Structure 1
Amino acid sequence: MMSKGEIHAARASRPLRASLLLGLLLLAGLGLSSCQAPSEIDLPLTLEATLLPTATSVAPTQPPPPPKTLVICMRDEPESLYLYSEEVLYGPTGAEANAVLQAIYDGPIDLVGGAPRAVILQSIPSIDNGGARLEAVAVNASEVYLNPLTFMPDNLELGSPYLPSGCRDTGCIQSYPGGEVLMDRLVADFRLREGLVWSDGEPLTAADSVFSFQLDAHPETPTTKYLVDRTTSYTVVDERTVRWIGIPGFMDPEYGTNFWSPLPAHLLADIEPGELPKVEAAARVPVGWGPYVIDSWSEGSLLLSPNPRYFRSQEGLPAFDRLLFRFLAGDGRAALQQILTKECDLVDSSLFEGEGLAWLADALELESEGILHVTWGPDVALARLDFNLDPIDGVRLLSDVRTRRALTFCLDRQGLADRLTYGLGVVPENALGLKGVVGLPGLPAYDPQAGAEQLEAVGWLDQDGDPSTARTALGVPDVRGGTELALRLVTGSSALEVTLAAEVQRGLEACGASVQVVHADGASLTAPWPEGAIFGRSFDLALWLWPAYPQPLCEAFAGWEIPSSGNPFGINAGGYANPGYDEACRELRWSLPGQSSYAHALERLLNALAEDLPSVPLLQPPRCVAHRSDLCGVQMEALGASDLWNLESLDLAPACP
């Protein structure tokens, strides 16, 4: 689930620096157009009568051009720039902080089209290119491994389930008999590019990445420790190479990205990890290897200049002499006007969060007039409508798949994308957000008449002939006769969720269901069992946003993830339980992309979701930035660290390629 958090109150005022800079640029242009050559100069005469020399003109001295400046406008001023601070990791200004960090750190790995791309590494290690390998390793009692049933790090004890080397399915899982057994583990080597240096001139080495890992692993660092706990070792091989070794049994499909972003050990190693969030060298003026360095940070703005030691400087990058971040603390529509007045060159998506998509109509109209440009791509968030198959109150209105399929006919998913996102949204193919999977049965297309007919066939009857009242049950499995098809829909309170919930309510009520919409704030919406509005399992329908990862989070519908008193942090809130799906999900987790077992498991679980319909994927909304029409290189990536993931490549041109 995706909790965006409350947006903090406005703190930043419009900076004087940007206004002065704009004025200087305008004045410089006027000054150049009004320059005139100086008048002729008479040379002094000698006492002798001589011929006067021809008068000459002195070439005017042209003033230097103004600095080429890129002005990026965002919502709130970052509270910290330290990678492992709570403010960057979980705070309401984390998106803005990550945008600024794209200027200071380039990469180290970018996600482009869902695939990792090396930035400061020579390549992304893989089994195919020899940078990674799967190896059999001897494991003894009490050693740490990944339990294949719980998917948690565990100590190997007598009777513990484990996957022997080469095992990828439930048929070969074994119980530990004692002694030494062979399991598989992943090893990946990450090699840095040659000649990398920090912006202060010190060499950037593999030891800086290991230092970052050690900080992440420290108990005073507020990170999740998910990957740390699944790591046997992360060590320096040589000055430019670091090696990651996973715990036995951990088949991480994203092993090629298990590289810790370097931090400058020469500056920070003597500081206690718990103190680093308070240290200016870590939180306010971090040293990096990226295209820019921080010049000054005043309230409301952050000014940077090119890093002369940037490893791509020989390519003419970055293209700007100055980079100015402005923090407007205002609304997106007002920010659009500042593109028109040249106070902003680019307005990032942080200024549009919380406003839904109403601002998009204004932006697209301005784009049609050639005033600005809107660059967009699918957001990482996927709006999903989950059916509760087993609510705690025992009234299982939606336990019959025929009812769920009938209601799905009543949802105009393509219409939602067209109306709410002006055609920019994506209608997901499946509840896990995977794209381009061929050969799967499709979800029911919008057909409210078919939906109403199927509800009748199941036993949900319109007994009073009044379409404005709810249908009632007659012979519906698991439902007492006369029970109304009255559904409680729980969702968040963001503008997008409010709009989507109203559309879902309208569609379902047109088919004869009664829908009560309940809006909850982010904290109560995703609180764990039993208090949570969703994880407490007291809803009929849950409309919420989930991340669409390139590697599917199949556990979202796994039976072992149903929230309960024995499993309060389970994430399968709808109570979907299908042993075949669970087996496929386990086998997917025991395999790696590219292996036949992985492809087979993926096909099985996606077929199960299509047939059983525990959830309907509604919409993947667009994530947009607005910018001046001649700003080239802006590219949105759903899984990118920021809207500005390729900041170093931005430039101005009369016509963008």
Structure 2
Amino acid sequence: MMKISPSIKVLFLFIALSLVLVPTLIACEPKPEQTPDPASETQDLPSTEAPAATASPATERPKVLNVCIANEPSSLYRYDGRNSLSKQSVFTALYGFHDGSTLLQSVPDISQETVSPEEGMTVLTADGTVQVLRKGTQVYATGQPEVTAWDTDLALDMQRSTIIYRLYDEQLWSDGTPLTAHDLLYTYHLLRRLELPAYQWALERTDKLEALDEQTLKWTGIPGFVASDPMAFFWQPLPAHLFEILPDEDLLDHPMATLTPPGWGAWRITDWQKGAQLNFERNPNYIHVAAHQNGFEFLNFVIVPDAEEALTKLEQGECQILDKSYQLESLDEARLYDLATKYQLVIEDFEPVGQLVFGIRPASYDVGFDSATVVRQDYFGTPQVRQAVAGCLATFDIATSIFNRDWIAHSWQLAMDTQPFVPPVVWTDAKGRLTDLGWVIRDGSDGVRVADGVPNVEDGTPFRINLLTGQSAQSQSMANLIVQNLADCGIAVTHTSLPAEELYAPGPDGVLFGRQFDMALVNWGKLPFPLCELYTSGQIPGPSTHWIGTNIAGLNDETFNYGCMNGNSDEMMIQHVPAVPLMPQIRVWLASPDLDLTELIRYELLSELKPVVP
């Protein structure tokens, strides 16, 4: 039986929890984040005379920007395993862009090189899993799509990626200390020790990170892995000059890490009034002042847990922004339209997190397949059928069905791209393609297609399948659209909605991770890796993997694995169609009409907001 490394188990736990907890368009009402005992965190903090959270007279140029947040962060330590929306909001002030790109002179290029792996090296194997190279380990040699079993006397080259990161020469921490490659190396080794789930995917695919000089780092990936996103391996640095003298566990409670961490963004923290607000002033050591710092001298994050109270403060000018932590996207559409007409409602964070997953290979097929006796016919065994079904779904404009709402139309930004939510069309005539594949509609039938010469399907079997979803309003709405449009293609779909704990229950008994479904709407959350990696063969949940894995479709295809591992995620998803992206996640925040928002504004550009000058 194959052993699962602890890091893979931790990563899978992170993904599985994301399936249940990630917010979708119809989100839960926000709840205050748990606040630690104030007595345990009371510190003597540096103080300034920053103005309190009060409205500025309309006749004066405002110098204070007040942002209402729904929850008080429990800590500002970046690597404590908690990342609430309020914490992300505050981090925008401290650090700017969440990917750390403002530290770099330019977005780095990814280079490829060949290496002759040696026994004991960590490699990415042919099934997409990270393993230690041993005799018999199956890998892909450079330029060869056929699987090779490695041996000590086998001359074999594998491809790996390298990335060069160049920091700005003049980059400083907000306390005036130079921010250098040493800070990133310290952070990298700290994360290796902490083994936090959110970072395991990138760390497992990293062979080494080294400093070439004070401003330059080189990242080297493991053999067999071809990187596609350079920022996935750029870990946000911590100030080594303050933290490396402390034990790792002390950082969870030390005030320098949790209350007053230095940053590199447009603002620096000056005071934290527990339960009330966090005060910031301009960062005098910010190196992008000319391009990214506005006319506001002070910034306050005002803690207002009640959304209605926060809206009152926005109306009265006591707050100029209500951030994403209020999850305003969960309000009813009439209320959202009213807010969009009164204020500036900004929609962002479009992520195609929801997918319609095909049950390609149910777990029952693992012990053998006989179409005459099997419980479920092999409806989705060929990619051509899956492509045709995706074509049926593309006959209606998914993006329009999701976004055709008054409040969204009123707040629409030209930069928004809805194309990721439209299923890719391989066959323009999906109905004709189904007929060509043997799924025919017979004269006098009820309009449901039946099998006639379909591989691994008994002739006369009707194309009747089940669709599983969660119970959110958006899942219900999307399921109805799927049922209607597949019916128009001659496919009868029965929809069943289940509580999240039942839908995402672990295998072998759970319907998804036990691979016991025909089709399912699944919300994966925002992924740190290319979409295709969910469906490589090494991720199939089953007895050999202790039912741990994300490939609930059961797709087992070497061509897919090879293409995915060589940076062709989109092409592989279109050709093999283990799933179809359908549902987005969006976030909403509100701004006062007194703020001058650019057309391409997003919350990470908080430092660029400017007041409207009368």
Indicate the TM-score class for this superposition, using the shorter chain for normalisation: 0.7 to 0.9
Quote the residue 1:42 is aligned against: none
Q: Deviations over 1:74-100 (max 9, x none)?
A: 333322222111212xxxx2x321221
* 1:34-433 correspondence to structure 2 within 5 Å: 68-88=63-83, 93=84, 95-107=85-97, 109=99, 118-126=101-109, 133-142=111-120, 144-164=121-141, 167-171=142-146, 173=148, 175-178=150-153, 182-219=157-194, 223-255=198-230, 257-294=232-269, 295-313=271-289, 317-330=293-306, 338-352=313-327, 355=330, 358-359=332-333, 361-364=334-337, 366-367=339-340, 369=341, 371-377=342-348, 379-392=350-363, 394-396=375-377, 398-399=379-380, 411=393, 414-422=396-404, 428=419
**Residues 468-517 of structure 1: CA deviation (Å, up to 9, x unaligned):** xxx59676855668877654322233342233234434555676735232
Residue deviations 1:228-281, cap 9 Å, x none? 233232233322222222233332222465222221112211222123222222
Following superposition, the deviation at residue 207 of structure 1 comes to: 1.0
User: Contact between 1:75 and 1:351, CA under 8 Å: does it hold in 2?
Assistant: yes
1:208 shift after superposition: 1.0
Taking structure 1 as the reference length, what is the TM-score of the superposition?
0.71
Is 1:376–1:636's contact at 8 Å kept on the other side of the alignment? no
Partner of 2:478: 500
Instruction: Indicate how the Cα distance of structure 1 residues 255 and 313 shifts in structure 2: closer, same or farther if over 3 A, else same.
Output: closer
- Measured in 1, the distance between the counterparts of 2:450 and 2:507 equals 30
Conservation of the 8 A alpha-carbon contact between 1:428 and 1:620: no
User: Out of 548, 555, 577, which is 1:569 matched to?
Assistant: 548
Query: Matched residue of 1:499: which SS?
Result: helix
Whole-angstrom CA distance in 2 between matches of 1:162 and 1:400: 25
Larger Rg: 1
- Distance in 1, matches of 2:506 and 2:581, equals 23
- Matches for 1:454-493 after TM superposition, within 5 Å: 458=439, 477=454, 487-493=465-471
User: Which residue in 2 is equivalent to 1:648?
Assistant: 607
What amino acid does structure 1 have at the position aligned with 2:301? F
Partner of 1:624 in structure 2? Answer: 588
Distance 1:584 1:391, change over 3 A: closer
Output the CA distance in 2 between the equivalents of 1:575 and 1:298: 50
- Report Cα offsets for 1:294-332 as digits up to 9, x if no partner: 22242153222211221223557243122222344445x
Q: 1:225 to 1:418 in 2, by over 3 A?
A: closer
Among 542, 566, 575, the alignment partner of 1:608 is 575
Inter-partner Cα distance in structure 1 for 2:288 and 2:417: 35
Equivalent pair of 1:198/1:289 in contact (CA under 8 Å): yes
What does the per-residue CA deviation read over 1:601-634, in whole Å, with 9 as the maximum and x for residues that have no partner? 864x25523xxx5433334354433322353456
Asked whether the 8 Å contact 2:124–2:223 carries over to 1, the reply is no
* 1:608 alignment partner AA: Q
Q: Distance in 1 between matches of 2:514 and 2:466?
A: 13
Q: Tell me which residue corresponds to 1:10.
A: 31
Structure 1 residues 533, 272: CA separation in 2 closer, same or farther (over 3 Å shift)?
farther
Structure 1 unpaired stretches of 5+? 14-19, 33-64, 111-117, 128-132, 435-439, 592-597, 638-642
Determine helix, strand or coil for the equivalent of 1:303.
Answer: strand
Q: Which stretch shows the higher mean deviation, 101-110 or 204-213? A: 101-110
The amino acid of 1:556's aligned partner reads L
Find the aligned partners of 2:396 and 2:69 in 1 and give their Cα distance.
31
Q: 2:566 aligns with which of 590, 595, 601?
A: 590
Matched with 2:494 is 515
| SS across alignment from 1:226 | helix
The answer to whether the 8 Å contact 1:632/1:650 transfers is yes
Aligned residue pairs, count: 553
CA distance change for structure 1 residues 322 and 461 in 2, over 3 Å: closer, same or farther? farther
SS at match of 1:620: strand
Q: Quick one: structure 1 residues 308 and 552, their matched pair in 2 at CA, closer, same or farther if it must change by over 3 Å?
A: same
1:365 offset after TM fit, Å? 5.0
Query: AA paired with 2:272?
Result: S
How far apart in 2 are the matches of 1:428 and 1:475?
35
> How has the CA–CA distance of structure 1 residues 245 and 350 changed in structure 2, closer, same or farther, with 3 Å as cutoff?
same
| AA at the equivalent of 2:109 | S
Q: Tell me how far apart the structure 2 counterparts of residues 96 and 122 of structure 1 sit (CA, whole Å).
A: 29
Q: CA RMSD in A?
A: 4.2
Secondary structure at the aligned position of 1:140 is classed as: coil
User: Alpha-carbon deviations, 1:356-380, whole Å to 9, x = none?
Assistant: x734x5444554x5x3223334611
Which amino acid in the other structure matches residue 361 of structure 2?
Answer: D
Contact 1:473–1:479 (8 Å) recurs in 2: no
Structure 1 pair 551/190, CA: closer, same or farther in 2 (3 Å)?
same
Change (3 A) 1:543 1:320: same
Seen in structure 2, the aligned counterparts of structure 1 residues 323 and 256 have a Cα distance that, compared at 3 Å, is closer
SS in 2 for 1:645: helix
Query: Which stretches in structure 2 are left out of the alignment for 5+ residues?
Result: 1-14, 35-50, 365-374
Do the aligned residues in 2 keep the contact of 1:22 with 1:342 (CA within 8 Å)? no
